[in-house]
Amino acid sequence: MQVPLLVDDFLRRSVLLYPNKTAVVDGELRFSYAELQARVNRLSHALLSLGVAQGDRVCILSPNSHFFLESFYATSQIGAVLVPLNYRLVAADHEYILNHAGVAVVLVDYEYTDVVDGIRGGLTSVRDFVVAQDAGNAPEGWQDWEALIAGEPDTAPAAIERDENDLVSINYTSGTTARPKGVMMTHRNCYVNAYSLIAHLRVAHDDVELWTLPMFHCNGWGGVYAITGMGGTHVVLRAVDGAEIFRLIEREKVTFACMAPTVLRTILDYPDKHRHNIATRPRFTVAGAPPPAAFIERLEAELGWEFLQIYGLTETAPLLTVSHPDHHTEVQDYQRRSRAGVPGIGVDLKVLDDDDNPVPQDGETVGEVCARSNVVFKGYWEQPEETAEAIRDGYFHTGDLAVWDEFNNIHIVDRKKDVIISGGENISSPDIEDVLYKHPAVLECAVIGVPHERWGETPKALVVQRDGAAATETELIAFCRDQMAHFKCPTSVEFRPELPRTATGKLQKFKLREPYWQGDRRVG
């Protein structure tokens, strides 16, 4: 008999095995697995009382919190579909997404009720507005989460017939030039991704995950399900802050965290990092953008913690490749370790040229990463054309360029849209950033292609300097020319106070390129 893969089974197992173990730590609050399940069940009943039916969309707009974790399980076990919103989007995007997804109920953190009140008049499908806060006093027009669940039973809601291909969430990608697209994730996608994470990142019952990654982002890369399924502990981090991160790692004996490279930088640059007594040697999984090689070196040399790299996308739940420290990889070869990964279990990867033919596995020829797997999403919500464009011949086309080598390592080169084509040569912008990050003055950098009369385009570096540093343009260009082929080196450098990033730490290079191209051929 075939049993459907349903993500809420992850919570049930841990309640059975570890009812009294701490499931979640949020500030001074702690809930055991039994308590977490009771809160989840109450919320499920409350949503049913609000008329949420199977297939209905329920949105959550919140920083990381125990409420957020509860919303994943409360919705999935009643067959509702969670729409986690990226809190960094502007109100107009929230309005677009809520209407596009036809959301019936919004669950909103107390800090974001004003944002939603500002767009209330334009919302076409939302019936109920619920505010998530630990102590009552909901603002006018809002129902209080705690009051809503207080009178509901803590027993499981009546079982309903479900299929593993039912939607568990719709995760909107942050649009660059276009409107956000709703990535439809099924139970099967998330379940298989969680297994893959458990296997490849060695998730176990004694793991304590610090939530350095926003939970809204692609089910926290699977941590919502993997850590819960193994009976580990979630330690919620509401906002990224070096002092708080070190305090929690020490106090809660954190063993595991997932993060974008920018968060790793915050951790590495935290001035008091050596004052903490940390005995757990946490495993840090870094992804979402190419991790600069210098960051891995510092993580290992300065903290002695373990670095793991995964690569993937929201559309792939997300794990596609995972770094694989084996005999082909020199421990010191940080650049390779920051870029290379082997396909995860159950992931069939191809690197295809523009005509969808596989490129040779020579470690040199660049092509697009394409994937076929149970983690590949069902499609974009109500966007069949975009879905057909993304999934062709059974393979999801990622929009990322890579080379693969004879040892089956996929090395990410760049996003297709960000690669710089200078004099017919493809230049990987992360390669140049990697070199710049070795310079002591460089706090942050982004390399983009700008127009060039002779070469078509040429690399330009935008650099944020460390406090007190005063490197010059000539010095940074010379630094690059010392270490890499000259045609790849930036021909100009500009200093900036900050660089635009998404909530998940991705550089928004299209924003940086815009002023230089002004209606010219470069987009995206």
Residues that bind ligand AMP (CB under 6 A): 173, 218, 287-290, 309, 311-314, 318, 398-400, 412, 415, 504
CB of 430 to ligand AMP, least distance (A): 7
- Taking the least distance from each CB to ligand AMP, the nearer of 220 and 490 is 220
- Taking the least distance from each CB to ligand AMP, the nearer of 6 and 320 is 320
CB of 221 to ligand AMP, least distance (A): 8
Chain mean position to CA 232: 20
CB atoms within 10 A of CB 478: 11
Tokens of 193: 């991704």
Q: How far apart are CA 21 and CA 42, in angstroms?
A: 20
Tokens of 191: 């379940």
Q: How far apart are CA 107 and CA 130, in angstroms?
A: 5
Is 59 in a helix, a strand, or coil? strand
- Taking the least distance from each CB to ligand AMP, the nearer of 172 and 246 is 172
- Asked whether 510 and 502 are in contact (CB, 8 A), the reply is no
- Taking the least distance from each CB to ligand AMP, the nearer of 79 and 449 is 449
CB of 314 to ligand AMP, least distance (A): 3
Q: How far apart are CA 220 and CA 211, in angstroms?
A: 8
CB of 309 to ligand AMP, least distance (A): 5
CB of 73 to ligand AMP, least distance (A): 22
Is 25 in a helix, a strand, or coil? strand
CB of 519 to ligand AMP, least distance (A): 26
- Taking the least distance from each CB to ligand AMP, the nearer of 190 and 218 is 218
Please, is 128 exposed, middle or buried when counting C-beta atoms within 10 Å of its C-beta (0-12, 13-18, 19+)? middle
CB of 380 to ligand AMP, least distance (A): 12
- Taking the least distance from each CB to ligand AMP, the nearer of 173 and 233 is 173
Residue that is written with structure tokens 């670095």 in the block:
307
- Taking the least distance from each CB to ligand AMP, the nearer of 116 and 376 is 376
Q: How far apart are CA 312 and CA 346, in angstroms?
A: 14
CB of 339 to ligand AMP, least distance (A): 7
Query: For 324-419, where are the E strands, in sequence order?
Result: 340-343, 347-352, 367-373, 379-380, 391-392, 395-404, 410-415
Residue nearest to ligand AMP (CB): 314
Torsion of CA 355, 356, 357, 362, to 10 degrees: 100
Chain mean position to CA 80: 22
- Taking the least distance from each CB to ligand AMP, the nearer of 248 and 289 is 289
Among the listed residues 195, 192, 187, the one whose alpha carbon sits nearest the alpha carbon of residue 167: 187
